[in-house]
A and B are shown apart, each in its own frame.
Chain A
Amino acid sequence: MNAMSHNQAGNAYNFGFLDEYAKKEVRRAILKAIAIPGYQVPYASREMPMGRGFGTGGLQLTLSLIGPNEVVKVIDQGSDDSVNAVNLRRFIEMTCPGVSTTTATAECTLIQSRHRIPELPLTARQILVLQVPYPDPLVVVEPSEDKRKTMHGEADYSRLLVKLYEDIVKFGEITISHRYPTRINGHYVIDPSPIPRWDVPKLNDSAALILFGAGREKKIYAVPPHTKAEPLAFSDVPFRVEDFRDEQGRRRACARCGCVDSFLDEFVTDSGSKTYQCSDSDWCDMQLSKARQTQGEPA
């Protein structure tokens, strides 16, 4: 308990904003979440000074884990500079004096992210915190939390599989675009947060610990390092990530860095044509500086 000693920075709040009891409770929930991979641990989520839905669950995880030597990266939609990422990073800087922040995926120890897992593979010394709006994949088939809890306990995902099957019957395709239900360690199916399907394979056998925080729904869950994560699919209809091929079947490239193996954002330009660009801004910068180096230009 070093609540008072950190109370310098001129703000009236504790280091990490939350009081120490609140942080301890979050840490206890994290430990339980790691011990039972994919299980949604309920916790008494605190109100944060930003809107529920803006990353308050992820932020409580980040603030409970953050230490004085932490190097933190905050991304939203893959970008370090989108308004919400800037806002959360500023809040962390304000309430955690001494902590450094970065935009470089390779340099950080703690990443808070909304909707993306970085393209650069994470390492064992990193923790990824994902912000979660809907923690329960079963909510699409069962609105009652009480009933869903039983279904999870019994690993009863039949109605979810029926939904996938009905999609195939109706549309010839599984229509789930993001928040793709993923089975963790052979039992619990999680909602991996609204990451695109592109990012789902990164959950499997990840070197880094991946934590999920749903502030409004008051749940924490985890995919521990080197844990099996399998997106729900059928043996004859495999799971597929987003398709970035053009009409001729060629993989589209990022208009900025030329990368052909990253998740792309689609833009409509002023002239009305479409252009594509890396969603992960740090990855895009890295590719750009690599390309410049090989061309002998200053990075």
Chain B
Amino acid sequence: MSYVAIKGGGQAIAGAAAVSEYLRTEEGLGNTGAEPLAIDAILHQLRHLVDRVVSEGGVYHPRFAALAIKQSMGDTLEAAFALRAWRSTRPRLSETPPLDTSRMRLIRRISAAFKDIPGGQMLGPTPDYALRLLRLELMDESPDAFRAVARNWLEKCPEAELPDTFPKVLDALRAEGLLPPVSATRGQTAFDITREPLVFPVPRSAQLATMARAETGSLLAIAYSNMRGYGDVHPTVAELRVGYLPVMLPHPVTGEFVEAGEVLITECEVVAMYEADEAGGKPVFTIGYGACFGHNEVKAISMAILDRALQKGMKDGANNPSEDPEFVLLHVDGVDSMGFASHYKMPHYVTFQSDLDRLRTTQQKSGEPA
């Protein structure tokens, strides 16, 4: 009978889980050499996947991010989702002060604005100038060769004394009076998007927090629309840095700030064309800021461009989607958007029945003489 279709839901769900688990482990069929994907292998060899998931998951837990990647079989949206759902069960126990990114332990730092910058340019690990040719020799990499590469690299690496801090490019521009003064809201308590809903208009810290855990592709798409012509940011990357940022937390007894660990982050500051000062002062450049967990430069740059676009939209009204805080902030979250796109697969019998009723009645009416 037709009503059987809605029975047995529990078995169907269990069956779906079982067949997914089969696909995850299928490699082991008659293959004695097959090994489950090790969390450490994901952490290291798929590091940019982990970076993306910690960032979009909104919690810096690389090991759980790797686990989420493993169980979702590499689906970034699903993995970030699992991490976020875990995060939402954790209470907020403490707050960090604003962290000073000049104290980052850098692995990479560049400026597109100046040929040389105080502290120097440092290309670091980047595919920017790599030729995107398939490295066929990796198709069947020998474990011995694999293990030797990192060791050999370290042996050849010259000992270098790196300073603890690198000055920020923006500080030099600010000292010269080319940038707006540091905002009066700096140092105020940050808006916590995990504890407070976005009720528009929202402060810049809420905008930044929302973008920091946004889905990379969504953020890039909207930022790209601005870059191409639906907007006018025309940014210059004043500085992009990637590295390990010490996280300070108040000591539970003394209240003194102590270093609790470090997080890998990407930070990008863009400078955009100047505007006339309405109060009659000198015109100055405008800035956009982007930062996210992990090494994800496309995301940090997209965020910086959108930060600048949103500030403009807040000030002058939005002329483009990328300048409209509601449009940007309510459409970049991967968990929200992928969930809603997926929900259309659920049964909609009742609403469709209701749609049928309306269409049939309307069709009947349109057949009648007016």
Contacts and interface: CB of A to CB of B under 8 A. Distances in A.
Q: Do A and B bind each other?
A: yes
Interface of A: 13-14, 17-22, 25, 42-49, 51-54, 56, 76-79, 81-87, 90, 115-116, 133, 144-146, 149, 171-173, 175-179, 194-198, 216, 218, 242-243, 256, 263-267, 269, 275, 277, 279, 281
A146 B198 CA distance: 11
B204 to A, nearest CB: 16
28 contacts: A14-B89, A44-B196, A47-B84, A47-B85, A48-B88, A52-B340, A53-B346, A81-B7, A82-B9, A84-B9, A86-B10, A90-B13, A115-B350, A133-B343, A173-B358, A173-B362, A173-B365, A175-B362, A177-B354, A177-B357, A178-B351, A178-B354, A194-B350, A216-B340, A218-B197, A256-B1, A265-B353, A281-B3
Interface in B6-56: 6-10, 12-13
B185 interface: no
A53 B348 CA distance: 12
A17 B82 CA distance: 14
Interface of B: 1-3, 6-10, 12-13, 81-82, 84-85, 87-92, 193-201, 326, 330, 335-336, 338-344, 346-351, 353-358, 361-362, 365-366, 368
A277 B350 CA distance: 12
B340 A53 contact: yes
Given A149-B200, A275-B2, 9 more contacts: A18-B89, A51-B338, A52-B338, A53-B341, A53-B344, A90-B10, A145-B330, A218-B198, A281-B3
Contacts of B12: 83
B6 A82 contact: yes
Given A81-B7, A83-B13, A216 B336 contact: yes
Contacts of A198: 354
A83 B5 CA distance: 10
Contacts of B339: 51-54, 56, 216
B365 A47 contact: no
B361 A173 contact: yes
Contacts of A275: 2
A43 B197 CA distance: 5
Contact of A279 (B13, B193, B349): B349
A113 to B, nearest CB: 10
A281 B6 contact: yes
Nearest to B57: A47
A78 B3 CA distance: 12
Grouping DSSP codes into helix (H, G, I), strand (E, B) and loop, the A interface class, with mixed when no group exceeds half, is: loop
Contacts of B87: 47
Contacts of B336: 52, 216
Contacts of A81: 6-10
A146 B330 CA distance: 12
A171 B201 contact: no
Contacts of A42: 197-199
Nearest to B325: A146
B357 A242 contact: yes
Contacts of B92: 21
Nearest to B5: A267
B13 A86 contact: yes
A195 B353 CA distance: 11
Contacts of B88: 18, 22, 46-48
Task: Give the interface centre of B7, B8, B361 by most chain A CB atoms within 10 Å.
Answer: B361
Contacts of B193: 44
A49 B91 contact: no
A151 B47 CA distance: 48
A85 B7 CA distance: 11
A267 B2 contact: yes
Nearest to B200: A146
A83 B6 CA distance: 8
A115 B351 CA distance: 7
Contacts of A265: 349-350, 353
Contacts of B330: 145
A149 to B, nearest CB: 8
Nearest to B88: A46
Contact of B365 (A83, A171, A277): A171
B7 A146 contact: no
Nearest to A25: B195
Contacts of A266: 353, 356
Given A76-B347, A172-B365, A145 B353 contact: no
Contact of A54 (B1, B346, B354): B346
Contact of A51 (B9, B89, B197, B343): B343
Nearest to A20: B91
A256 B2 CA distance: 10
Contacts of A17: 89
Contact of B195 (A44, A171, A243): A44
Contacts of A76: 346-347
A266 B335 CA distance: 33
B3 A145 contact: no
Contacts of B195: 25, 44
Nearest to B356: A266
Given A21-B91, A47-B88, A177-B355, A133 B340 contact: yes
Contact of B82 (A49, A178, A195, A269): A49
Contact of A146 (B84, B326, B354, B357): B326
A87 B10 CA distance: 7
Contacts of B368: 172
Contact of B355 (A20, A48, A178): A178
B85 A277 contact: no
B343 A53 contact: yes
B354 A48 contact: no
A133 B87 CA distance: 23
A265 to B, nearest CB: 5
